[in-house]
Amino acid sequence: MNAIATAPVTSAPAENPWHNAQRQFDQAAELSHLDPGLRAVLREVKRQLIVTFPVKMDDGSVRVFEGYRVQHNMARGPAKGGIRYHQGVTLDEVKALAMWMTWKCAIAGLPFGGAKGGIVVDPKHLSEGELERMTRRYATEISVIIGPEYDIPAPDVNTSPKIMAWIMDTISMEQGFSVPAVVTGKPLSVGGSQGRNAATGRGVMFVALEACTRLGIDPKASTVAIQGFGNAGSIAARLMDAQGFTIAAVSDSSGAIHSADGLDIDRLIAHKKATGSVTGFPGASAIAASDVLEVRCDLLVPAALENQLTSENAGRIQARLILEAANGPITPDADILLEQRGITVVPDVLANAGGVTVSYFEWVQDLQSFFWDEDEINARLEKVMHRAFTEVWDSAKQHGVSLRQGAYLLAIERVAEATTDRGIYP
């Protein structure tokens, strides 16, 4: 994959994602009766780096960019989290994403803490040369806190394997030798892993099957709407289609389409590759981008940005089951409304954990210079996702709470245990 995977751009989030992330944590901390000192530690980020750097543009002018790298917690191991390029990136957004990564890694049983990074930029307005120079300069600026033993970035919104290769090469040039394990999500030619590109979408598919089994939903008699037809959304669509789900509606940054009889996903992927958008797909009806969340369906997969389901539209959601392929697409207030309506939500920290799981596999392979084939990768991923879903489901049932709260209770317990066992330095 050489093209940048874009995500849909909807209206700017009205809520602060960091406040939402802390609110979700506080709710679970209350239920778990977490020690006040531990609670104070875990509800804040460990480290936040803001970098401002110049880049020479193609026309000879100089443009200054702002970027971030945030590490939330490293009690369980090196920090792990993606880098996104988006004009709406804020420090608070990156802090929230870093916290969610901590819980996600703990739920998946990975020896990582949470981190995230980003640059305030619309990459579609940059040439490839400008994009590379910006990426390499950003990598140099954050090189003081990243590395295989410290913090391992990965692709996120609007970043790609090629961008990860540029970061890896930049760090390697500074070190004087190749450092493939400094990032994951790289091309296979420079230490990437089989199965990594499809990992997030494949994880969503595994979780969808797990949830349907427990809720008594027949995949072959179920319709699905997917908001966001970038990497995660399109791959989830293709793999869920192969399992018998009917993909009835999808959207991207240009618009949305719907077909009650189901969309031909392979043809739709080819159409988007050729035209740059899902709009205009033969045999489908055009609908408003926001309507993809509200169409009649059995499963809804938000795979775009945060704060897409809010208290304003939660009452109009018609799905029975929601799988958060994106990070933070449902606000806390919307969560309450959806739960009251009996709609099951599989939270982001579980539903989209496939990406970081295979990133972990890639990191392990890079460190030992020994690589696995794709069948082995996919089998290991399915095992991790099955175990994680079962543990979250059991946690929720044991405490009589939602899947999100069950996931948070499980994650907080694991991170708190590691923090307590390590002690407070010095």
Catalytic pick among 46, 80, 104, 116: 116
Identify the burial level of 14 via C-beta atoms within 10 angstroms of its C-beta, where 0-12 means exposed, 13-18 middle and 19 or more buried. Answer: exposed
Task: Determine whether 116 is an active site residue.
Answer: yes
Going by C-alpha positions, the residue among 197, 134, 194, 196 that lies closest to residue 170 is 134
Measure the CA–CA gap between 273 and 288, rounded to whole angstroms. Answer: 21
Measure the CA–CA gap between 145 and 81, rounded to whole angstroms. Answer: 13
Residues known to be catalytic = 116
